[in-house]
Amino acid sequence: METILTIRKLNKRFNKYVHAVKDVSFEIHRGNVYGILGPNGSGKSTTLGIVLNVVNKTSGDFEWFGGKVATHDALKKVGAIIERPNFYPYMTAKENLELVCKIKGTSFEKVDEKLDLVGLLERKNDKFRTYSLGMKQRLAIASALLNDPEILILDEPTNGLDPQGIRQIRDIIKVIASQGTTILLASHLLDEVEKVCSHVVVLRKGEMLYQGTVHNMLDQNSFFELQASDLSQLKSVLSNHAEIDRLEEQDGKLLVYPKKEMAASELNAYLFQNNIVLEHLVKRKNSLEEQFLELTNNN
């Protein structure tokens, strides 16, 4: 698969105290939707800023399109929205986009197509100042797409929007992706990444905790939730089981993490043979949310 962006051991120190990005490495391949997921202050915007040449890196490398073209030229094939949308308030959406076309040197004929894509064609002759925040954000997406970029970069695209506005933006992102445009979006919302992205890079305090497919992240780590009248007996029996990685107590229940996939019946039979009758046995899979919270809390 064609590589759009390669990042190697990227570091950013703003000053002695703030090491915003620490040895971050990942690759972006054509046609996928990538999420950079992390709580506020984890280095998402800084990472995007560096690859877009608006923030200077401290060390490490990044390379657009296999490094065949200089960053300045490569960025002409990148559509990015990293700030709040800003257009001329007294001009219409159509006039604003035509101005962007003039600046980018693209033809006006894309204006209606992109307005249609983001659901604003009917409102194209309304002044920007009359737009809701969601409409402004959609106009920004249309604007970033005017020159048919290879990749669209969005920083927290649904921040501040109401539920309907959030849905509209997410649906538009999916349509753009289905047309073959690669997407990279930063978000602190795991359900957003879960709903929209195929791949994810998880950051905490500038450090990369996970990278891979959203599917694999969701697929990892089934575990069991157990209850028995004698919890300490249960614990001691389980600690003798070779296939069990670790135990955790939570709200009077014992969480059991096996080293590899294990059937509930197998665990139950083992405990029964060891004279334990369970009051409660549930096999659970960590949702991305639980894993994200686990990853970002402490580990």
Name the site residues for Mg ion (rule: CB under 5 A). 44-45
Task: Give Cβ neighbours of residue 242 (< 8 Å, ≥ 6 apart).
Answer: none
Among 6, 46, 187, 291, binds ligand ADP (CB under 6 A): 46
Among 45, 181, 291, 296, binds ligand ADP (CB under 6 A): 45
43 vs 134, which CB is nearer to ligand ADP? 43
Under the criterion CB under 6 A, does residue 20 sit at the interface with ligand ADP?
yes
Q: Which does 165 bind (CB under 5 to 8 A by kind): ligand ADP, Mg ion, none?
A: none
What single DSSP character describes residue 256? E
Burial 193-231 (b: 16+ CB within 10 A, else e): bbbbbbbbbbbbebebbbbeebeebeeebbbbebebeee
89 vs 160, which CB is nearer to ligand ADP? 160
What track of x and - describes contact with ligand ADP for positions 243 through 282 (by CB under 6 A)? ----------------------------------------
Q: Which residues on neighbouring strands pair with residue 62, listed in sequence order?
A: 7
**Binding region for ligand ADP (CB under 6 A) out of 13-21, 170-178, 190-198, 251-259:** 13-21
Nearest to 158 by CA among 113, 193, 120: 193
- Three-state DSSP at 88 gives coil
CA distance 30 to 261: 33
- Side chain identity, residue 204: R
What single DSSP character describes residue 66? G
**Binding region for ligand ADP (CB under 6 A) out of 37-45, 133-141, 173-181, 233-241:** 37-45
168 vs 296, which CB is nearer to ligand ADP? 296
3-state percent breakdown (helix, strand, coil) of the chain, nearest 5: 40, 30, 35
Among 22, 44, 110, 136, binds ligand ADP (CB under 6 A): 44
170 vs 205, which CB is nearer to ligand ADP? 205
Q: Which does 20 bind (CB under 5 to 8 A by kind): ligand ADP, Mg ion, none?
A: ligand ADP
CA distance 198 to 177: 10
Q: Which does 79 bind (CB under 5 to 8 A by kind): Mg ion, ligand ADP, none?
A: none
- Three-state DSSP at 103 gives helix
Q: What residues line the site for ligand ADP (CB under 6 A)?
A: 14, 18, 20, 38, 40-46
